[in-house]
Amino acid sequence: MSNKNNKKNTFLKRDDQHEHSSEDNRIGDFKSLLFLLKYANSFKFHFLLAISLLLCTTLCAIQSAKIMGFLVEDGLIPKDYNQAWKIAGEILLLELLCLITQWAGRSVLVKYSLKTILNIRKGLFSHIQKLPMSYYDHQPQGRVVTRITHDVESLEIFFTGSLGRLFNALFMAIVASLAMLSTNLKLGIILISSMVPAVLFVFFTRDWVRKLNRKMSRLSSALNSRLSEFLNGLDVIRSFGLESWSKSKYDEAVGEHLKSQLAANKLFSWTRPLVSFMCSLPLIGIIYFGGKEVLLGTMSVGLFVTFIRYTERFFMPIMTLAREIHIIQQAFTSAERLTNFLQEETEESIFNDQNRNSDDIIISQKRIFGDIKFQNVSMKYAEGENVLKKLSFHIKTGEKVGLVGTTGCGKTTTVSLISRLYNFQEGEILINNIDIKLYEREYLRSKIGFVSQDAIIFRADLRENLSTNGISDDLLLDGCKKTGLLKVMNDSNMTLDTLILEGGANLSIGERQLIALTRVLLSDPSILILDEATANIDPHFEKIIHAAIDIIMEERTCLMIAHRLQTLDHCDRILVFEAGELAEEGTKEELIANKGYFFNLQQATQKKEEAL
Amino acid sequence: MSLATQSSHLSQSTPYIKKEARKLWTNFIWKNKTIYLIGIAMVMLTNAMQVFSTRLMGWILDFFTNQKIPNILSGNSKWDTFYKLFWFLLAARVITTIGRWGWRITLARQTHRASSMLRTNIWDNVRFFHRNDLDKFYTKGVLMNASTSDVNSGRFIFGFTLVAVVDVVFLGILSVATMLSIHVPMTLLSLVVMTFLPIVVNKLSKLEITKYEIAQNTLSNFNDLSSQVIATIRLQRLTQTGDYWEKRLNGSGKDYQEKRYHLLKTSLRYIPIMGGASILSYIVLFSLGIHLVTSSKMSVGDFVAMQGLIFLLQDPLMELGFIISELRKGFTSLERLSRIFHNEIDNNLTSDGAIVDDHKEILNIKKLSFRFKEKDKFLFKDLNLTLKHKDRLGITGSIGSGKSILINILSGIQRNFDGEVSLAGKDFDDYSHSELRKYISQVHQKPFLFAESIKNNIAMDQDITDDEIWRILEISGLKNDVANFDNGIETSLGEWGVNLSGGQKQRLTLARALSRKPKLLFLDDCLSAVDTITEEKILQNLDKELVDTTLVWVAHRKSTLKYCNKYLHLGDKHE
């Protein structure tokens, strides 16, 4: 888009994915996860099934550990062959059950987690279409992209991987503690409390780990964008001889990333082994305290073995937690960001709250003829000064009006307001003498045809590129004929079935523009906005495009934004903007006679033409 | 995925490349051999302590059931022995912890160092690739893939995989040896039964990698689409095409979800494999052990120790399966990277050459013709032209008439053409790339800016004072725009920074070219998005400031060319 107002970009919102960003304004990890869980609502029975299966796994595992002690105590020490086999058989059966429930439980969990994630994705995709333009103006593009890609991915990794293990770990820890407490209260308490250092350690180092991980991923994506940027800009690098410069820049990015990796390596080098050591404390505890009791004869050897097996089952979960804490944290952070994102005010709520009374009727049927009236309209983008200052003008149905002015004068803003991309603070805009705020936005926009310098062309056949409303081929071809696209299609052997590549890669700029124009014609708008639609088009196509534009303009109200004055020859009237105000208005001849701003523009252009 | 077709060219590794990949690996290790040796020693220490503490558990049980234990562990009294056993266990655990720290800080650390080495090498070579190679074989997608997934899997064989190798070998040998010292037949039987483990794991991990790659490719397509949607959101809203994109995103998301499900289902198969291995171990242990213990041929302590060891052995055996596939994957990635490291580079960009001397005739063009391919029509044919010092040449012509190609030829970027072009009396090949670029600058039709500050985008590799930057901005008609930014020339651009308008971008690229004070400057229709008044001001500035510079100007509209003293019109295609 050309001609954007720069002011609105100067207060980009703070980057909440930077590792140093403070954590105020948080809605809480857990709450946000709960918010997202509503996307899992329709699968709650499946999740319940998965959880029950995983609980069974834990119970089997603990039971198996318990009777291992019986095997030693009742089978092996008394050398009772049959008794030993009876218990051994039970152990085998339990282990088998353990395996089956674990596999089934995790499979169900994975399947429905993925479905939930897909639901979240769908929610996000529909949300991005509902957010107001003002939201996008204050967010760097990269961040919005991160929301709908990486944040969902980290949630996905958590849901499909860690969550299953976390359930296992949690159940195991609970059941093992219960088993130990019920078997030998004193020893149980000693063992469970010997886990405390490990848990506390994981808990207190978590922010450390999080910061390092975030830094690593930030630097890693910085590194990748460097490479991608240099590949895109290789022509510039080559024609300026910037090969060494690019290398030093790239190596710098690699070095930064390496530094963060090595810092993480240093941290994990001592924290991971230390956590393992702390996790073995219960085992050391059972040898010491349990061993003493065995020696004193207050505890049987079988129970001692059972306890060893319990502690083995017990510390695995903590190890898992330590290893995956960053995934879990990342998921919580992402969940929070996604929740924030999904709770951003939509266009609907922003536009409705301030401007509509509940008893107003929303207009979505009435034919719009294209009579546009601005009355003292003032508008600013969030903070900052007014971009439009008490702007008033009237464009009658069927009039062709040119908008002229330097960059940032307010002409793009004016056009955006007619399409209701933004709200305005003061004044009124009337379409057909009805307040613009009373129209349903979708309907209003469908009645406005917009043609800009860059045409939107997508990977699909030509038919779909022209209309997604299921218009019959006859009508489509009729439209093509009117704009001259049909002739171009015949010349270059295109049919409605021809596959158009992404961004129209297999088309010339002129062809793309012609498709966009035909699309507009087919949508039959009442108001037409042309934003420098003929720039960058070669002379051959320029004629065709101009002819097409003439046809489309027939009987429609037209607003033309122009940088070049020749474009304005067809205009009935010209509005000259300066710093958000209407500086001049009138026909071309009147304006020249006025010797004002437009006259100067005209002179500058003419001087150039004469010099040739 | 289009990568499949591209990689047909890229997928065969010649013996030469295979050798180079291995050399890359061995050289890196050899250069850091001390660290590697310390690392390996640390892994072995850790393994020894792990096996020792498992064995110790058996002795503790033996001690409780009044069986014989090694002399070194027994003390004067029962309690004395008990404490001795306990301290040994504690010591073993502490040493294990130190050992783990040791291999992480040495051997595992090499993983990261290797990844940085590989990444640095990529751009070091790619920056000199032939344009043709970049367009056809090493497209952006392929190279980005190399720098992310190939580096990611290639780096492991420099560190973590080696840890695993030592682990498997040493822990395997130690466990087996200890088991053999307890009971030979039982050890052999468990080994035989467990051989299935590495085989199955290897197979499964291969399958997992394939599924992973498919899922990742789908994901990156999906992510590309996502960024595209966000980038065009405003236009979508104005043209009412949002629904279409939403539908496409949903479709792409569903596609990815399915691929991801296949992957996860594959990964979940490790559960029955590991569980199966445990059950088999139990069967071996019970079928022999119960008989042996009840008939007093084995102590209860040995039975428990044996159980621990069998389970300890499961890890290296599983690991073996992973290692095999990790090594294969790692070396395949390394080969792919080696192909990049040894791809032919454009010698014009690296060779030495003469300095450009003062000369009356800056450019001399004789019978210059160009066509893309042998059988194509000529874009232009038999051009003759001499450009003297301070000349201003204007070039016009319709789109597709070859204006940009002509500029690439005249600036020495494109060297494949028919006819002769000399710069200051010599052939382009006689000069070094850096010398040519010092002499010639170019402003491209499509403005390309780096994600840097405005100042850095102008100065690039030069040292320029702020005052000079502002002066250049003034000439390019951008001074007022930049002065309006809160951070002035320090304002950063790019995805995370300020969005400039098309016209502002064009003026900034002009400023970049001006800052280099070129003797010969090419302007390729570079003010098309600038409004008329500003354009006129810039044209005046250029004419005034660049007195000593020879200018070549391409424009759509003749109005832009009023300061030129020579004109060239490229017409329709020549037969």
pLDDT in tens, A527-564: 999 887 766 666 677 788 888 888 888 888 999 887 66
Query: DSSP label at B493?
Result: B
Lowest-pLDDT range of A484-493, B59-68, B550-559: B550-559
The beta-carbon neighbor of B260 closest among A12, A114, A601 is A114
Considering the domain architecture, whether residues A420 and A329 belong to the same structural domain is answered as no
Length of chain B: 575
Q: Give the residue carrying structure tokens 């009138």.
A: A586
In this predicted model, what pLDDT tens digit does every residue of B469-491 receive, in sequence order?
Answer: 999 999 999 998 888 888 889 88
The answer to whether the CB of B299 falls within 8 A of the CB of B182 is: no
Q: Which two tokens stand for residue A89?
A: 């058989």
Taking CA–CA distances from B565, the nearest residue in chain A reads A612
Mark yes or no for CB contact A605/B246 under 8 Å: no
pLDDT at position A9 is 39
Q: Which residues of A touch B441 (CB under 8 A)?
A: 239-240
List the single best residue of A79, A230, A239, A319 to mutate versus B (max B Cβ within 10 A): A239
Same domain, A252 and A299: yes
Question: Same domain, yes or no, for A477 and A341?
Answer: no
Which superfamily does CATH assign the domain made up of B390-402+429-570 to?
Answer: P-loop containing nucleotide triphosphate hydrolases (3.40.50.300)
The helix (H) or strand (E) run that includes residue A173 is: helix A163-183
Tell me what pLDDT residue A607 has. 56
Q: Are the Cβ atoms of A421 and B234 closer than 8 angstroms?
A: yes
B184 Cβ under 8 Å from any chain A Cβ:
no
Vertex A482: Cα angle to A477 and A488 (nearest 5): 70
Amino acid at A561: I
Which pLDDT does position A214 carry in this prediction?
83
Q: Is residue A538 in a domain? A: yes
- Residues of A within 8 A of B97 (CB-CB) are 273-274, 276-277
| Closest CA relative to residue B414, chosen from B422, B405, B423, B427 | B405
- DSSP letters of B215-275? HHHHHHHHHHHHHHHHHTHHHHHHHT-HHHHHHHHHHHHHHHHHHHHHHHHHHHTHHHHHH
Radius of gyration of chain B, Cα coordinates, nearest whole angstrom: 35
**Is the Cβ pair A280, B235 closer than 8 Å?**
no
Instruction: Mark whether A391 and A425 lie in a shared domain.
Output: yes
The CATH number of whichever domain residue A181 belongs to comes to 1.20.1560.10
B85 to chain A: which residues are within 8 Å by CB? 287, 291
Whether B566 has its CB under 8 Å from any CB of chain A: the answer is: no
* Residues A141, A187 within the same domain: yes
Per-residue pLDDT at B2: 37
Judged against a pLDDT cut of 50, whether residue A2 lies above it is answered with no
The predicted-structure confidence for B513-527, as pLDDT tens digits, reads as follows 999 999 999 998 888
**Per-residue pLDDT, B5:** 37
More confident residue, A591 or B30: B30
Q: Angle at the Cα of B92 (from B88 to B93), degrees rounded to 5?
A: 120
Interchain pair A6, B438: CB under 8 A: no
How many helices and strands in chain A, by DSSP H and E?
24, 12
Q: Each residue of B45-104: pLDDT tens digit?
A: 999 998 898 889 889 988 998 888 888 888 888 899 999 999 999 999 999 999 999 999
Q: For chains A and B, count residue pairs whose Cβ atoms are closer than 8 Å.
A: 387
Pairwise CB contact (< 8 Å): B501 & A605: no
A240 contact residues in B (CB cutoff 8 A): 437, 441-442, 460, 512-513, 516
Q: What is the CATH number of the domain that holds A546?
A: 3.40.50.300
Query: A325 and A429: one domain?
Result: no
pLDDT score recorded for residue A20: 45
- Residue A24: inside a domain, yes or no? no
What does the mean pLDDT of chain A come to? 83
Render pLDDT for A520-530 as a digit per residue (tens, 0 to 9).
888 888 899 98
Q: Same structural domain for residues A335 and A420?
A: no
Residues B83, B87, B88, B92, CA torsion sign: positive
If asked whether residues A249 and A157 sit together in one domain, one would say yes
Residue A23: pLDDT band by 50, 70, 90 thresholds?
Answer: very low
Which pLDDT belongs to residue A254? 96
- How confident is the model over B195-236, as pLDDT tens digits? 888 899 889 988 988 898 888 888 888 888 888 888 788 888
Task: Indicate if A308 and A418 belong to the same structural domain.
Answer: no
Average pLDDT on A488-494 reads 84
| φ, ψ of residue B479 in degrees (nearest 5) | -60, -50
A612/B254 touch (CB, cutoff 8 Å), yes or no: no
Tokens of B272: 């029955």
31-90 of B, contacting A, C-beta below 8 A: 57, 60-61, 64-65, 78-79, 82, 85-86, 89-90
Rounded distance, CA B549 to CA A550, Å?
44
Cα separation of B10 and B137, whole Å? 8
A573, part of any domain: yes
Look at A225 and B304 and tell me if their CB atoms are within 8 Å: no
**Bridging pattern class, strands B392-397 and B566-570:** parallel
Strand ranges inside B429-499, DSSP E: 440-443
What is the CB-side half-sphere exposure of residue B290 using CA atoms within 13 A? Answer: 20
Which string of b and e fits A383-392 if b means at least 16 CB within 10 Å?
A: eeebbbbebe
Residue appearing with tokens 């020693």: B41
Where b means 16+ CB within 10 Å and e means fewer, B88-127 reads: bbbebbebbbebbbbbbbbbbbbbbbbbbbbbbbbbebbb
Q: Is the distance from CB of A39 to CB of A116 less than 8 angstroms?
A: yes
A457: left (phi over 0), alpha (psi -120 to 50) or beta: beta
Sign of CA dihedral A500, A506, A509, A510: negative
pLDDT at position A7 over 60: no
ipTM: 0.86
Do residue A503 and residue A551 come from a single domain? Answer: yes
Partners of B293 on chain A (C-beta within 8 Å) are: 76, 79, 84
How deeply is A594 buried, as exposed, middle or buried, from its count of CB atoms within 10 A (0-12, 13-18, 19+)?
Answer: middle
Task: Give the nearest chain B residue to A126 (CA atoms).
Answer: B246
pLDDT at A265 > cutoff 50: yes
Please list the alpha-helical segments (H only) found in A395-451: 411-418, 441-446
Residue A581 is classified by DSSP as: E
Q: Which residues of A72-108 are buried (b: 16+ CB within 10 A; e: fewer)?
A: bbbbbbeeeeebbbebbeebbebbbbbbbbbbbbbbb
Angle at A246 between CA A243 and CA A249, to 5 degrees: 150
Q: Contact B271/A114, CB-based, under 8 Å?
A: no
Report the range out of A256-270, A387-401, B143-157, B310-324 with the highest average pLDDT: A256-270
Contact B402, B379 (CB under 8 A): yes
Contact B268 A103 (CB under 8 A): yes
Please name the helix (run of DSSP H) or strand (run of DSSP E) that holds residue A375, with its range, or none: strand A372-379
Q: Considering only alpha carbons, which residue of chain A is nearest residue B536?
A: A604
Give chain A's domain count: 2
Contact between A56 and B261 (Cβ < 8 Å): no
State chain B's mean pLDDT as an integer: 87
- Asked if residue A14 belongs to a domain, the reply is no
Choice among A56-60, A305-309, B399-403 with the minimum mean pLDDT: B399-403
The one-letter code for the residue type at A12 is: L
Tokens of B539: 């044209």
User: Average pLDDT of A293-307?
Assistant: 89
Q: Which residues of A touch B442 (CB under 8 A)?
A: 239-240
Cβ distance A76 to B300 less than 8 Å, yes or no, reads: yes
Is there a contact between A427 and A378 (Cβ–Cβ < 8 Å)? yes
Rounded CA separation A608/A611 (Å): 5
Q: Does residue A436 form part of some domain?
A: yes
For the stretch B403-452, pLDDT in tens is 888 999 999 988 888 999 999 988 999 999 999 999 999 998 888 899 88
A367 located within any domain: no
The domain limits of chain B are 15-341, 390-402+429-570
Mutate to test the interface with A, among B82, B204, B461, B562 (most CBs of A within 10 A): B461
Q: Which of A222, A205, A206, A209 is nearest to A256 (CA)?
A: A222
Tell whether domain B15-341 is in CATH 1.20.1560.10.
yes
Task: Quickly list DSSP for A521-577.
Answer: HHH--SEEEEESTTTT--HHHHHHHHHHHHHHHTTSEEEEE-SSGGGGGG-SEEEEE
Torsion of CA A402, A404, A407, A412, to 10 degrees: -30
For residue A5, tell me if it sits in a domain.
no
Question: pLDDT tier at B399 (50, 70, 90 boundaries)?
Answer: low
* pLDDT tens, position by position, A399-411: 889 888 776 678 8
A434 and A582 together in one domain: yes
A28 CA: distance to closest CA in chain B (Å): 26
Residue type, B201: V
Checking if the pLDDT of A13 tops 90, the result is no
pLDDT for res B6: 40
Count of CA atoms in the C-beta half-sphere (13 A) of B392: 15
- A82 lies in which domain range? 29-347
For residue B496, pLDDT over 70 is answered with no
The distance of Cα B391 from the centroid of its chain, to the nearest Å, equals 45
Length of chain A: 612
Does a structural domain hold residue A1?
A: no
pLDDT at A12: 45
Contact A231 B264 (CB under 8 A): no
Are residues B96 and A141, on separate chains, in Cβ contact within 8 Å? no
Residue A612 has pLDDT above 80, yes or no: no
B573 pLDDT higher than 50: no
